[in-house]
A and B are shown apart, each in its own frame.
Chain A
């Protein structure tokens, strides 16, 4: 099984300039190669689309808050079960699938890499234990820094280099991939039950503002040369009109950018893309945000698209979750984490005829359609916050077909229909653009050079869909697009066929990527001895028991970089 030939497929590999050409793809020993021998297994992909395996840049699939959600909602799982087979484990869905089910469902959809975007430093061991029980897909996680006492203190003192060494230690200790920032400073306020607003408010007891945190962490990221940019969930999630905060956050680091490269990623922009002053007059801030993104190439974004369904919201932004509990009256989990961060979980149902939900739905789609460069906008639902990841094909259909959008627009709250610009937008995404926003662009943003494309030497993660792009018009036949993308004809992971006709045929364990950014020994030594004191003063766990050993991950893949400090 080490040689595979995918013949006659219509290949999409936008990173390498291939946008729907009939080409053969050859695989050997888990990599894309120039050619293979005659004894290679052949997949006849005639009339099918061939593309790199999906790379999800932001999906809450593992860790403390995700599991808190599972425990909170037995009713979520009862209606959606997976029966075990000789190859696959039993499990449950629906909005917070169990770990094995998560891996299988991503693979069935043709996804091969997924990142858990928010994990408390202290609880990242838990996140990895869940990821190690998530089969097939490669994965990684983003530990949270934006409300961590040491980070706030270093940055307040202007000690960016020490902060970088500290973050380097933490990424090694937690086997993390990138720096995540959620409501910088705001979650520390929430740990007192308080809120801050905007970027210039002072964090209680710390001499720093959110703007200073974002700028400082951005500099740290650059010093550490991490493969991904800082990944930011902005302040003011609870504020009604919050798009201005999003733009201000993007703008706060503009001067730090160079080489036209992105240096900040704003996640689930839909949630912080609202205009208005009260719930009854909220509107879409997508035009303004889209405009800013179009004019500034230091920013990338992902959608956090809403789908009308009963789902579960979960975020490190605990204060927001309290507010959502108050608004909805639904049950509410909250887990503050000492020194570092918080979390909250609240079930939520998005309804078409709810004015606010309809606007939220429109914001995500507008943003995708208004941002011109598909390499800087990515498809997510912030699973499960906006909806489950299994709904991606539905969203793709909306993006590719104005007709599909019109049908849905016709069913939403009438006032929202009038308020949104969405009905008037004609743009329809092409197949290459869809491939970019679901794999090529996300892999690039993550700095995963061997993913998201089918060039020689790339990981042989390939998805093949039963859809002939030369014969169908996605604008009209969006239902066929949706259907085909739900169940891959073949999903190939590291050169092994793992899915055939939407069924799991093999379930190997994927890798866990983490980044080891090496700073100078003397700097690291100084910072480590400072850290010892903070462990004694702040924590309830010994420093020696905190860090994960390298052998704690079942299948680690370390990415080493040399930091600038």
Chain B
């Protein structure tokens, strides 16, 4: 992208690090210095994070000798420079080998580019496995619900019908249960197939034709998710593939398997089984926790089976009777991480209180009788915190056990799936029984919360903006973008990192700059949760918008930041973008769109970001991916991909510079399409960081909302 900028405003935090700027050919030690300098202390985090509840809890934990993620990060510093830049290969027992300016080859003979590409591919494959395990559970749920083999209700059969139509599955004369079972079978086939000659039918049905044709030209159509995971590990195994281009081709195949099967298909199947998002208003963040007379249960992780079963029975008279007998008046569930994202989208009255990295701060409130966890992004550091309180940690997935936790899980072979509601009740019983052990004197809950409006699935977006499901078009949104009321659409997703950024700061700065300049924002996953906690996902945040966007969101009574769900619900953001481009009569790469993964952390975020790139959407991050040792990799992802798929990966640690890069890119696309262009303005620190929206409540007198 072009380098012409209007503003020179730079982030004082990033600027004060004196980190060298990345330039091709720079020595490895400078690259390591660059990454080392871009770290922030716990004290800096406390001062500058937008999430005042987390800042307060980290201080509280420090005062009470509880170790948090931020303490452990400080203890790790300085982290290994070879690992940080990707110049270390630890795949086989010849190594670990580090590739340096003086020692350019590993023992087996790989150069730095192959080492970095191999590390990136393996990280991507790990992310594919994680979302793939989630996908498998959801597909099994759908099949079980449709076939009646488990007592799981099919909450949105209408979507099952719509998805069958999308997939080209015949529906005539079939019952809705049969249709939904065939949808599950199709998804499972593309998850696990080994045979190479069969088409990837989900990909061909769900991706825009222009994209499918491009991917076929590049010869990167995956065989199946299982196979691409298998092959990514095979290809990078000891002395197997040693061709950089071949590594990158496998990388792109794996990204597509990740995107189509483990993200898009998962999100669609989840909607069929557990219901589609519904608009609702609720409070979020730690200040939403009820401390008086209430049994509190946190649900953390990603897999929906047990989590939704608990949700289905928690308010039943039978459970409420047990609650009263235990001496409490109420029982409440609270969402954490992406299970929280799934709950809060579906108007179940379950507030979201923490994302993955801040879940242990929620535990440290001492207000939870139980934390129910399944798999992924449940930090091991949660266990020692829970042990300091009466809080019981209960694991429900054999893939995500925790040393010292109570195991009440669906077994590895799902032999007890038909007993899922008994399992859910056992979990609730433990929490209710544990209420008597709570020490009220040790409960500490920061009085910080934000008002949000949730539930913007593709169906709601179509209702608000005159869309059509069969046409796969959001006509109204396209018209508003084309006519110049909305500059573009930018999605925020992925995790939040401790390294390379101040916790929950960068994405808030960028989002505020964008809505100030008339960009409609969508968000999902843990990074999106930061925008919720910052109060941007409520109609009252319209005050922070530019005039044009403000007129739109106020007329429609929607927030300028539309929350679309959990990490796998990037699907919905992708649909909003692709269906808007479709309605505008242009392709994704032509359309003013972008993806922001401000502070990516988990392996899954590798696939999450490149999935948008391969969809033709420019993607931006502030935290570097442990790949900076290889100029060839940096050039491939930052430049060559743009010529291959119409978009690239952009990295800049400065959120102010990234904001301008995005706005400039959106304007360039608008100019190319002949659509109106108007000035943008980068807000100062005082305007962007110091102005907390009215939707965020900080204080002792929080009113009841929603």
Q: Do the two chains bind?
A: no
Hey, which bits of chain A sit against chain B, CB under 8 A?
A: none
